[in-house]
Structure 1
Amino acid sequence: MGWSVGARGEDDTPTGRPARRREVGGIEAATYIRDTKDRDGGMLCVGQPSWDSFLATVKAGRLDR
């Protein structure tokens, strides 16, 4: 499975701490998410319908503050 690093985010947060980025990899039925700085620390598995719904919500701006 190939992994993609999240493209959004700054190198540093407003607090001066390094930003935490996530990697996303997928197969047809699911998407896996892991921390780029702790690749052996485990993964979150999300079913494809839930992932697609989440992406639609983000793209529509419904999570913007």
Structure 2
Amino acid sequence: MRLCRTHHERHGVTVQRHAVATADALVGVRDSKDRTGPVLAVGPREWSTFLAGIRGGEFD
């Protein structure tokens, strides 16, 4: 399994994204401060919708 690791920080909150290369093309997201914590896996459409919400200030 290959991981593509990126970080996003906004308003003091850091999100570490792991794109999991599988047949399901899921995106795994976890808190970078808790490296052994749970991973939230979402589909690419849901991830794109979430990113659009961040860019649009929906969570400010």
Assess same fold via TM > 0.5: yes
Aligned-residue identity in percent: 31
Q: Which residue of 1 aligns with 2:17?
A: 24
Distance in 1, Cα, partners of 2:26 & 2:51: 13
Distance in 2, Cα, partners of 1:59 & 1:22: 14
Distance in 2, Cα, partners of 1:21 & 1:43: 14
The gaps in structure 2 that reach 5 residues or longer are none
The TM-score with structure 2 as length reference comes to: 0.66
Q: Which residue of 2 aligns with 1:42?
A: 38
Distance 1:53 1:6, change over 3 A: same
The TM-score with structure 1 as length reference comes to: 0.63
Q: Which has the larger radius of gyration?
A: 1
Q: Which has the higher strand share?
A: 2
